Structure formats: C-alpha cells, structure tokens
Amino acid sequence: MSNVLVIDIGTQSMRGIIFDDKGNLLVKEQLKYMPYMSKKHGYVEQSADMYWSYLCQITKALREKHPELLDSVLAMSVDTFRDTAVLWDKDNNVLRDCILWSDQRSAETASRLPNGAIFRLVGMYNTVNSIRKKTKVRWVMEHEPHIWAKVDKVTHFSAYINYKLTGNMVDCYASQSGHLPFDNKRKRWFSKSNLLYPIFNVPLSKLIPLCSPGDVMGQISQEVAEQTGLPVGLKVYASGSDTNCETLGVGGYHENMASVSFGTASSVQLCSKKFFEPEPFLPSYPSVIKGWYNPEVQIFRGYWMISWFKQNFAKHLEGKALEQGKSVEEVMNDEIESIPAGCEGLVLQPFWQGGLTTPEARGSIIGFSDFHTRAHVYRAIIEGIDFALREGLERLARRGHKKIEYIAVAGGGSQSDTICQIAADVFNLPVKRVQTYETSALGAAIVTFAACGVYADIPTAAEQMVRYTDEFTPNPDNVKVYDRIYKKVYLKMYKKLKKLYKSMSQVQPD
C-alpha cells in the first residue's frame, strides 16, 4: 500500500489530503478562506500570499497530527482553481493581488482588434470581443499601466503554487484554462501569427515553460520544508486544474459519460480523444490524460447561487440547522422534497453572470403565484442550474458526436441525495456518485500514482481508485414534467428576454 499527498485549492477553501493507492481518503485538513476583497461592486481579489499561508498551515497541521503518514507519501501534487492570472516582476515578486476568475470587471477594448474584419465576416466579432473584455490582464494594461510596466512574467495561479513549492517557474498545460494566449489543441502557447493571439495580446516573452501531466516539476527544499513541514526531497508532480482533475476523479476516462460539477461554478465536461469546440472560439481543454480533451460548458455562478440564496433568504434557518445537527443547505434540501417537480410553475434561468455567447444575460424567474414560497425559489434555482447544464450537455454531445449513457457528479451539491435525484430526472440519465466528495483531489492523486509507476497509466489507476457507491435513476413521471418545461419554456426564455436584458444594462445605474 502506498500514499500520495494532494493540495486541493478551491475558490472557497483549501484542503490537504492523503490518499492511498486504492482511492481511500486517509486524512484531510481543510481551511476556509477569509472573505474576498472587493474594492468595487463586482470586483473579487485576493493576495497570492494568503493562499501560500493557508497551504503552510494545512501542511504543518498534517505534520503535527499525522507525522508518520506524511513521511510515508511517495510524492505530492496540487490542483487549483482556474483563470486567475499572477503578475510577476523580474525578481519573481508578485506585483498585485490576484483578480479571481469570478471577478466581473471588464477591459475597455477601445483599441482596434486586428483581424476584426474576419471575425465580423464569420459573425463572431461580439463573441471575440467578449473574450477580450473578460481578459483581466488586459484590464491591468489599461487601468494600471504603472503595474504593467514592471511585469516580467504572466502566469496562471497554479504556477505561483508550483514556484513556491519547488522554486521553479513552470506550469502544466492541463492547468491553462483561462484568458491567456494558449493553444488548447496543440497544448502550447500561441504564436504571434495565430488569428486568436491579438485577443489576449500578452507578449510571448512573458509566458513560462509548460510541462505535461505526470511530469516532475521539482522537489521540496530544506527552506520550503521548514515553512511547510513537508519532507525534504518530496517530488512535486504536475496534474491539472481542479475541474479537469475532478472529471478524472469521478471516473472520467470513458467517452460515454459526462462529469457534472455542482460547485461554485457549475459545469459539464466530457472526455474526448478528439478535439472539438463546444462553442465557436471556446476550445476543449487539455485533459490530465495525455492526448485527451475535456470539452466543457460552464454556468459561471452555478452553485454559488446556493450560498447567495442562503445568505440573503435563509439566515433564519441557522438556529434550526444547529438544533438538528445539520447545515443550512441540508435543512433547505429537506424542505424541497415535498415540492413537486417543476416547482408548480416556477422556472429560473441561472445567468447571474453572463456567458461567452450570452454576455448581456441576467438571472430571471418567471411563473410566480401567491402560493409560491421561499422553498419553491430554492428548488427553482436547483432545477434552473440543471436545465442550463442539460442544454450544455446536449450541445457538447451534438458537436462531439457523443452518446452519453450516464452522468457522474461532483461538487458540494452532489452530497445531497435530493439534488442528485433532481439531476437524474432533468437529464433523464442515471446519476452516479463516487466514494468521496473530494473528487478533484482524487483525480490529482490518480495522476500522481500513475506518474510514480504504481500503475501503468492513468486509466488503469482510475479503474482501481474510483468506485461508484450510489446511483440515482430517473423517475419517469418527473422526467415528463421536466422535459415539457425544458423544451416549451426554458429553451425559449433567453431569446424572449434578450432584448430586455440589453435594455436593463442601459437603464441600470453605474
């Protein structure tokens, strides 16, 4: 029996987990972050050093509580959240706080877009310009030129953690999901001649070397060991982003399944040996399995909406939850079990943040009657997220010519039987759940065990380390209700409301 350590860095918390080679979670240390800094409405920033501080606290806790187990690990890996840039000076100092993926500021994009005429000709200018606006590095160029003048390197956040652990400025190509000039199909940086390079406009000289999943990025030095409590000489292996690792961690090495994440940003990913674009100019991401890809559709705010709803409409349930020894979410999930599928006519569109091809979209709820309650709204949020994910899955399957036979779920929402059953009914597919909620870390552990030679390859490791422990089958009566709502109401909502969304952006005060 052998063990590995994974540091799983999510949007809301960080975990240090040791797995054995059968996929069993042996120990876990977790810390939730301090609130994100918000200088203005819609801004979400955090100090990179805060994350390093939390990592050191977690690994020191493992050292204190489980010294023999920590010393037994073969190697370690790290998976992190995506699309968050770090700006470095020539001495490898971080120049400003990280602008996180959930930040809603936009670049001005007043400058002319090279090749703009080509994008207009193919009807994709607005989509491409939306990508430019979401590129936070471009925002820094425009609004903080004094900072940009000092920038020597631009990386994703994952590279920051790699550097702090190993002293090497390197990152994995399976972590390059975000707004940098990365060629997802070829797993390398764009050349300046690439049609899409000007969208990001980050000088190639400021980008760092990339490695493959399973490569050794470095090892723990004496200095880092003193800061973290990690063993000197422990090798740090590349894995990938949290979502890509999560897909592997729920058994994502078959082309007939879909991985659905009920996390802060909800998403649906497929596993594909063939590269294809889920939407024009939205590429498939490189998988942690070499040669494979993970085409994805994401609902940007996803299950963050549950936290939003709890904070604004369910604070009064905290006392009841404490009495019952449950979380507020569990109490709310109990409440919606008596509400029929379809929320008695209430339908929600979960666009609390606009998407790539729907930048003007807003969240909306239709169908209110006087008998609807707070619990109806909560269930409508869950059903609305599932409707959006079903639409994404159907698009992925259609564009990739895939036949999806079942879904495997991950993320905080997947812990609820009620939420899993609703998903099975909305998708009309079996929903499977694996042996642990910590699926991103499990995926990184699978990559690490294969890289260490414990298993011949990643699929073999996954076969031994992933176990489906629960399955939820569709309820035929509920399937009929959801299918009717989805086709006759939900799919028509965006087109019907699009003009109103645009008007809202014009009349809303700054």
Would you state the pLDDT for residue 119?
A: 78
How many CB atoms within 10 Å of residue 32? Answer: 10
Higher pLDDT, residue 149 or 105? 149
> For residues 156 and 202, is the Cβ–Cβ distance under 8 A?
no
Q: Which residue stretches of 219-339 are H helix?
A: 222-228, 242-249, 304-313, 318-324, 328-336
Distance of CA 42 to the CA centre of its chain: 19
- Domains, the chain, with CATH or none: 3-238 (3.30.420.40), 303-402+482-507 (3.30.420.40)
Instruction: State phi, psi for 446 to the nearest 5 degrees.
Output: -60, -45
Would you state the pLDDT for residue 107?
A: 86
Query: Which of these, 357, 309, 360, 356, lies nearest to 335 by C-alpha position?
Result: 309
Higher pLDDT, residue 298 or 249? 249
- Rounded to a whole number of angstroms, the CA Rg of the chain reads 22
Q: How high does pLDDT run on average in the chain?
A: 92
pLDDT confidence tier of residue 508, bands split at 50, 70 and 90: low
| The two three-digit tokens of residue 94, written as one number | 């971080």
Listed in order, strand segments (DSSP E) in 127-232 are 153-156, 171-172, 182-183, 188-189, 210-211, 216-219
pLDDT confidence tier of residue 404, bands split at 50, 70 and 90: very high
Q: What is the 3-state secondary structure (H, E, C) of 372-426?
A: CCHHHHHHHHHHHHHHHHHHHHHHHHHHHCCCCCEEEEECHHHHCHHHHHHHHHH
Name which of 106-110, 265-269, 320-324, 407-411 the model is least confident about: 106-110
Would you state the pLDDT for residue 233?
A: 98
- Cα 63 from Cα 231, distance rounded (Å): 9
- Cα 205 from Cα 458, distance rounded (Å): 33
pLDDT confidence tier of residue 40, bands split at 50, 70 and 90: confident
